[in-house]
Amino acid sequence: MARSAVVIGGGIAGLTTAYRLSTARPAIDVTLLEAGPRLGGKIKTTPFAGVPIDEGADAFLTRVPWAIELCRELGLDDSFIAPATGSAFIVTKGKLRPIPDKTVLGVPTSLRSLAKSGVVSPLGMARAGLDLIRPDNWPGHDESVAELIARRLGPEIAERLVDPLVSGIMASDTQNLSAQIVTPQLAEATRKNRSLIRALREQRKLAAAATPGAPVFYSFEGGVGVLVERLARAIPDVDVRMSTSATQLEQTSDGYAVHAGAETFGADIVVIAAPANAVAPLLREHAADAAAELASIEYASVALVTVAFSSKSVRHSTEGSGFLVPRGEGMLMTACSWGHRKWPHWTGSDEDKLIFRISTGRFGDERALHLDDDELVESLLDELGPLLDIHGPVLEWRVSRWPKSFPQYPPGHGSTVSRIEADVARSLPGVNLAGASYRGVGIPACIRSANEAAARAIDHLSTLPA
């Protein structure tokens, strides 16, 4: 008897799950329900100034295997492109300064490059150096990223270097981010060696020896959307229902019924790959504790504004991949990526064009939500102008809004997720969760969570009567 599955959510996690289930042997009949009118979720590549440019994610990390492995299976590994430049800047007291060389998530491993960058004060430098001699002070529990960095290298490194970088990845505040889940390499390093700098130097050496000169990020000429398109093509047998929002999950005598408006889809197994705030109402009736914890996961809203200028209008050099803005600078923008340098094909055949992707919004800062598109662009350009010495009109612009897009992982988030998973496994055997709300927001982590959810769901099938 053919088994059936319903996958809820058509972002990267849902698509990967559908791919894994539909290519499993023996075959499973898979239905994928997507609430919106398109697949991809937070991955969306659309034309800007005539070239496909990402509105959300623009690359994925190569240092973890899950995205690379999936791309290889889909025959995409000969289409990888890497950012053309790695060096970046940070705003310090209103000026752009280079991020010191040899940093790991903003943590300097060379005190000499830290001194040269001018990002921290002489006192901040001296405090960072104390890391080499201070005794071990690990508190023995999951701490925030800010606490970890401040206790080893002092508050200046935490606020001026690590927070803009790590908070930028999560649209958050490192004071409220679990070191264990968000920066596991830092959490592990601080447990291995009392000196964080020494442990990270060792990690860098090992990584360089394992993959010498390998790029840290990959994308495709057509943007990250290429991965979504290829995955969608790799699931021809999946019944994909667009604009179909799952509204209720019902346990039946022979499995599950997923209700979506007037339609009902029966299934032996269900994988829910929608954000936690959309999952909570589906589980409330069956797994009240899990539903309450899912509903308590908070989200940050962000917006990305893409702008094009003539190179004649911008006097400041844009050699590098862009810059980050520490929270303490009080600006609306959180980062600006120099897209024409990072991804040179973004300018098409027009070499005179410069393309910037300006990010705004982080947890606790919703100013962008209260501005309409014109006001938002104007306010961001008012900040960008003096930093890059811009003396000319913006040629084109586009606003991409991502409300409630970044789940927040406070210290203890790992234990919360374990409790949620245990309650769901107990109350709803055969139902699994996947996606960015749990153990990593990056594309590779979402793919990993989908691989694991699909594998658990397939295992469950073997426990069912024939």
Q: Which spans of this chain sit near ligand FAD (rule: CB under 6 A)?
A: 8-14, 33-36, 41-43, 56-60, 245-246, 273-275, 278, 302, 304, 402, 405, 435-436, 441-443, 446
Q: How far is the CB of 343 from ligand FAD (least distance, A)?
A: 12
Q: For residue 72, what are its two tokens?
A: 């290889």
How far is the C-alpha of 234 from the C-alpha of 386, rounded, in Å?
47
CB-wise, 399 or 441, nearer to ligand FAD? 441
8 A C-beta contact, residue 8 and residue 14:
yes
Q: Which spans in 27-157 are helix H?
A: 66-73, 111-117, 122-129, 145-153, 155-157
Q: How far is the CB of 391 from ligand FAD (least distance, A)?
A: 29
Report which of 184, 189, 192, 158 is spatially closest to residue 173, judged by C-alpha positions. 158
Going by DSSP bridges, is the β-strand pair 255-260/248-252 parallel, antiparallel, or unpaired? antiparallel
CB-wise, 248 or 427, nearer to ligand FAD? 248
Report which of 396, 282, 202 is spatially closest to residue 9, judged by C-alpha positions. 282
Going by DSSP bridges, is the β-strand pair 3-8/28-33 parallel, antiparallel, or unpaired? parallel
Q: How far is the CB of 268 from ligand FAD (least distance, A)?
A: 19
How far is the C-alpha of 175 from the C-alpha of 166, rounded, in Å?
11
Q: How far is the CB of 406 from ligand FAD (least distance, A)?
A: 6
Q: For residue 118, what are its two tokens?
A: 């001018």
SS (H, E, C) 437-458: CCCCCCHHHHHHHHHHHHHHHH
Q: How far is the CB of 266 from ligand FAD (least distance, A)?
A: 16
The DSSP call for residue 174 is: G
CB-wise, 35 or 271, nearer to ligand FAD? 35
Going by DSSP bridges, is the β-strand pair 299-310/396-407 parallel, antiparallel, or unpaired? antiparallel
CB-wise, 208 or 216, nearer to ligand FAD? 216
C-alpha pair distances (Å), 61 with each of 26, 66, 222, 358: 32, 9, 17, 20
* Phi, psi (deg, nearest 5) at residue 124: -65, -35
How far is the C-alpha of 176 from the C-alpha of 166, rounded, in Å?
11
Q: How far is the CB of 141 from ligand FAD (least distance, A)?
A: 26
Which residues are CB-contacts of 178 (< 8 A; sequence separation ≥ 6)?
Answer: 142, 144, 145, 409, 410, 411, 412, 413, 414
CB-wise, 18 or 278, nearer to ligand FAD? 278
CB-wise, 376 or 436, nearer to ligand FAD? 436
CB-wise, 17 or 109, nearer to ligand FAD? 17
8 A C-beta contact, residue 293 and residue 420:
yes
Q: How far is the CB of 251 from ligand FAD (least distance, A)?
A: 18
CB-wise, 209 or 262, nearer to ligand FAD? 262
Q: How far is the CB of 246 from ligand FAD (least distance, A)?
A: 4
Three-state DSSP class for 175? helix
Q: How far is the CB of 301 from ligand FAD (least distance, A)?
A: 9
8 A C-beta contact, residue 110 and residue 149:
no
8 A C-beta contact, residue 220 and residue 81:
yes
CB-wise, 155 or 215, nearer to ligand FAD? 215
How far is the C-alpha of 449 from the C-alpha of 440, rounded, in Å?
9
Q: How far is the CB of 34 from ligand FAD (least distance, A)?
A: 5
8 A C-beta contact, residue 163 and residue 325:
no
CB-wise, 127 or 241, nearer to ligand FAD? 241
Q: How far is the CB of 70 from ligand FAD (least distance, A)?
A: 13
Which residues are CB-contacts of 133 (< 8 A; sequence separation ≥ 6)?
Answer: 195
CB-wise, 60 or 323, nearer to ligand FAD? 60
What residues does 335 pair with on adjacent strands?
Answer: 324, 359
DSSP tally for the chain: helices H, then strands E: 17, 22
CB-wise, 51 or 270, nearer to ligand FAD? 270
Q: How far is the CB of 385 from ligand FAD (least distance, A)?
A: 23
